[in-house]
A and B are shown apart, each in its own frame.
Chain A
Amino acid sequence: MTNEFVIMTHALSKSYDKNLAVRELDLSVKLNRITAFLGRNGAGKSTTIKMLLGMIRPTSGSGAVLGGDITDTAANRNVRRRVAYVPEDKPLYGYMTVEQIIRFAKSFYPDWRADVENKLLHEYDLPIERKVKTLSKGMRTKLALLLAFARRPDLLILDEPSEGLDPVGIEHLLRSLATRAADGVSIFFSSHQIAEVERVADHVCILEKGRLLLDQSFDELRQSYRRIDLVFDSAAPEHEFRFSGVQRIELHGHHLTVLVQSNAEAVVERARSLKALSVEVSPVALRDIFLETVQEDQRALV
């Protein structure tokens, strides 16, 4: 295990009765990166995160967070001090006021950042005298985020942090992720909202039905994923384009659509040598990459 990775899993699996929630997951999350953990609802994201934090035991496989074995209780206790975690359901002490809960949390962490606390209190516009149980869902989320961001963790793990936030709240959240990353905090956060993550994240992992379908840097994705539309004057020679990196070929008579994960140049070159009437290359939005990847997976299972 090297220090280059803050999270590493090997063949990590979890089943409930006969249902496989997470299957043979090999995850490696790099230090000092913002990594987005994308997947549809029920894809296994929360289960994975809970295993990483030692909250549930894996059925098989292994994993380490900040170098500590996730199934070793002592290592886990030690690691939890260096990890800030915001769970999906944001459980907070309802009988405390916002001010009390902040004071309470602060007492556990000697390196609490008052500057971050004040900035976020102001930015999130939290009512400090209100009791937590009377807060709206969005307010609770903001409070949970404040409690995590004001610590000085090595790793921040957020499970669906944008849940319940309005667009302004989401922008504040993403901005907080960017500034915390600039402070040297590694960030791993799950989401099912693609549009939210793609500007701020460095790396994306896509989980579907408990399996990892994509694990790539956003820059690589942007640079290599292309849709290529080709028109020929006779029936399009579909079989000529089965290069490695080609994810899907769709044929409509004279018109061929090729979706590539990489190797766009080879497709374009081949099309030219086959005298295509028209060659058009366009970038593919992450949203479409996500849908393609998930659908491709479903086709493969049929």
Chain B
Amino acid sequence: MGMFLKPAPNTGQPLYLQLMQQIRHAAETGALRDGDQLPSIRALADELVISPNTVVKAYSELAHERLLELRHGAGAFLCVKHRTRSLADRVQASRRRIHALIAQLREEGLFDEEIRRAFEAEMACPAETVRGR
């Protein structure tokens, strides 16, 4: 059993984005540390039973965000320097706010499914995942 989950095909989200989130999450929680090597494209495609193109896309997007470093012929390595620290903090902070908001909505009598759909509706526009450095 590896550290990544098989992406869910029917959440309405491209698989490469799901994989990117899992890698980011692993970096945020410290499951992956600076300099750690990620599985090869072939190994991860094999493990998760997904197209290697999905892995390539996730790795190259994360390399673009500089969370990964792709070394020619050697593979992909996690690159958590100061930048991702602050990103992790931001993600942590936003989690706390979302947590509080959801608690409040539940208090007001909304069901989880209603809250989920409201979030979905707000995020209906396919947002770009590009973010400022």
Instruction: Note all chain A residues with C-beta closer than 8 A to B3.
Output: none
Q: Which chain B residues lie closer than 8 Å to A268 at the CB level?
A: 121, 124-125
Beta-carbon contact of A178 and B124 below 8 Å: no
- For chain B, residues 5 to 34, give those with C-beta under 8 angstroms from any C-beta of chain A: 6-7, 9-16
B14 pairs with A178, CB closer than 8 A: no
B54 to chain A: which residues have CB within 8 Å? 202
Residue A201 CB within 8 A of the other chain: yes
A229 to B93, CA, bound (A): 32
- Asked whether A97 is an interface residue with its Cβ less than 8 Å from the other chain, the reply is no
Contacts of B52 in A (CB 8 A): 178, 181-182
Q: Can you report 21 A-B residue pairs in the complex whose CB atoms are below 8 A from each other?
A: A33-B53, A178-B49, A178-B50, A181-B51, A183-B42, A199-B7, A202-B54, A222-B9, A222-B11, A222-B14, A223-B12, A224-B126, A228-B124, A268-B125, A280-B118, A280-B121, A282-B117, A282-B120, A283-B11, A284-B12, A285-B9
Residues of A within 8 A of B16 (CB): 219
Give Cα A244 to B95, complex, Å.
36
Given contacts A201-B51, A202-B54, A268-B124, 4 further A-B contacts (CB under 8 A): A199-B6, A223-B12, A281-B120, A282-B120
* Bound-complex Cα distance A202 to B54 (A): 8
Instruction: Give the interface of A toward B (CB within 8 A).
Output: 32-34, 171, 174-175, 178-179, 181-183, 198-202, 218-219, 222-226, 228, 264-265, 268, 279-286
Docked Cα-Cα span, A179 to B53, in Å, equals 11
Which of the listed residues A171, A200, A264 has the most CB atoms from chain B within 10 Å of its own CB?
A200
**Residues on the A chain within 8 Å of B9, using CB:** 198-199, 218, 222, 285-286
A219-B16, A280-B121, A281-B124 known; A182 and B41 CB under 8 Å? yes
Given contacts A199-B7, A265-B124, A280-B121, contact A219 B50 (CB under 8 A): no
Residue-wise interface mask of B (91-133) relative to A, using a CB-CB cutoff of 8 A (1 in contact, 0 not): 0000000000000000000000000011011001110000000
A-B pairs with CB below 8 Å: how many?
94
How far does the alpha carbon of A200 sit from the alpha carbon of B49 in the complex, in Å? Answer: 6
Candidates B11, B14, B118, B121; contact of A219 at CB < 8 Å: B14
Q: Is the CB of B15 within 8 A of A280?
A: no
Residue in A closest to B118 when the chains form the complex, CB atoms? A280
Q: Are A218 and B15 in contact (CB under 8 A)?
A: yes
Residues from chain B with a CB closer than 8 A to the CB of A285 are 9-10
Q: Which residue of B lies closest to A225 (CB)?
A: B12
**A-chain residues with CB within 8 Å of residue B10 when the two chains form the complex:** 198, 283, 285-286
Q: How far is B120's CA from A23's CA once the two chains are assembled, in angstroms?
A: 39
Q: Which residue of B lies closest to A284 (CB)?
A: B12
A175–B42 Cα gap in the complex (Å)?
10
Q: Closest 6 CB pairs between A and B?
A: A283-B12, A219-B14, A182-B42, A182-B52, A280-B117, A265-B125
Q: Which chain B residue lies CB-closest to A287?
A: B10
Closest to B126 in A: A223
The residue on B at minimum CB distance from A223 is B126
Judged by a CB distance under 8 angstroms, whether B88 is at the interface is no
Least distance between B8 CB and chain A CB atoms (Å):
9
Cross-chain contact B15 with A199 (CB below 8 angstroms): yes
Check B14 against A226 for contact (C-beta < 8 Å). no
Cβ < 8 Å to A, chain B residues 37-53: 41-42, 45-46, 49-53
